[in-house]
Amino acid sequence: MIDTPQPTEPQGNISTNRPEFKVRNGNISGTTGVVYRIHVALSPDFNQTVALLTVTPNGNGTTTATLGELPHNTTFYWRVWGTDGSKESAVSNTMSFKTSAAPAPTGPPGLPAVGVPAGPGGRTPDPQGGRLPLPGYGAGVVQAVAAANPGLLSNSCQEHGGSWRFMDLVVDTLRTYDTRWGYNGKRGNANDPSMDVVTYHHSAGPSQGSTQVYIVDVIGGHCGPTPSPAWNDVTDITYSSGTIGRWISRGRF
């Protein structure tokens, strides 16, 4: 028998965008190898799945799981059920929560060190056919931000407890030159931001959600022992491998 586990947290408006999911365990008897499936989505009908986590029930009555950083100011829905691979419990009731608002922009004005270049602001006009060229100032921006903030670069591995601060400063500084700059949704997934890649929207129309982008890697050896500033245009490699980039704001602008 696998009784239905019950979701308890997060719910309502929360003060973070890195929530911990907490589940009150159900009774389990007559079977082994039970795991809980935590289904997280952007819609209450669960058609827009964000993640489907698999966790082993904790023996103390409460099971927890984390998903990492989610977009700010966004409502999510989640539910949970148990399974041993052949039998399943009923699906729990649905809980919802809304992540915290995005923090104030970390980029200019207010960059933390002298020597980081800033542009004149604005947006390059739409091209009249074809696409805009990739701007040539990007490498200098990344080098300058890295030189002014060496500690942020070394602490830029978000998957291992690092910060988005370096990436945010790079994007914010690039956007002082042209607001066509943004973050990248990996493999076109707007809910999975690249942790070391920026995009530049090169075509006409709104930037948000566009796949008409240049894709540029700005951290060499990301999550390795010696990350370094980089400017590696991976647009063609990405498209030739059958995947795409997507312009996203990561909830910051």
Nearest to 6 by CA among 94, 66, 98: 94
Handedness of CA 146, 149, 151, 157 (dihedral sign): negative
- What is the pLDDT at residue 228? 93
- What is the pLDDT at residue 101? 78
Helix or strand run (H / E) with residue 198 = strand 193-201
Q: Distance between CA atoms of 188 and 185, rounded to whole angstroms?
A: 5
- C-beta separation of 8 from 48 below 8 A: no
- C-beta separation of 164 from 219 below 8 A: no
Radius of gyration (C-alpha) of the chain in whole angstroms = 21
Q: What is the mean pLDDT of the chain?
A: 90
109/183: higher pLDDT: 183
181-185 and 247-248: which strand pairing? antiparallel
Please state, for a pLDDT cut of 90, what percent of the chain lies above it. Answer: 66
Q: 3-state class of 183 per DSSP?
A: strand
Name the pLDDT band for 138 (thresholds 50, 70, 90): very high
Nearest to 244 by CA among 219, 222, 213, 202: 213
Give the model confidence (pLDDT) of 47-58 as tens digits. 989 899 999 999
In this predicted structure, the answer to whether residue 133 has a pLDDT above a threshold of 90 is yes
- What is the pLDDT at residue 151? 83
Q: Where are the domains of the chain?
A: 6-98, 138-248
Tell me the two tokens of residue 32: 């082994």
- C-beta separation of 134 from 141 below 8 A: no
The set of residues, in sequence order, having a beta carbon less than 8 Å from that of 222 and lying 6+ positions away, is: 156, 157, 195, 196
3-state SS of 70-124 is: CCCCCEEEEEEEEECCCCECCCCCCEEEECCCCCCCCCCCCCCCCCCCCCCCCCC
- What is the pLDDT at residue 116? 79
Q: Where are the beta strands (DSSP E) in 56-180?
A: 62-66, 75-83, 95-98
The set of residues, in sequence order, having a beta carbon less than 8 Å from that of 190 and lying 6+ positions away, is: 209, 246, 248
Give the model confidence (pLDDT) of 232-251 as tens digits. 999 999 888 889 999 999 98
Name the pLDDT band for 150 (thresholds 50, 70, 90): confident
- What is the pLDDT at residue 162? 87
Angle between helical axes of 165-177 and 138-148 (0-180°, round to 10): 140
- C-beta separation of 220 from 153 below 8 A: no
- What is the pLDDT at residue 115? 62
Name the pLDDT band for 15 (thresholds 50, 70, 90): confident
**Phi and psi (nearest 5°) for 188?**
80, 5
Q: 3-state class of 150 per DSSP?
A: helix
* CATH number assigned to the domain covering 6-98: 2.60.40.10
DSSP state of 46: S
Cut 0.95: pTM above it = no
In this predicted structure, the answer to whether residue 61 has a pLDDT above a threshold of 50 is yes
Region 218-228: what's the mean pLDDT? 93
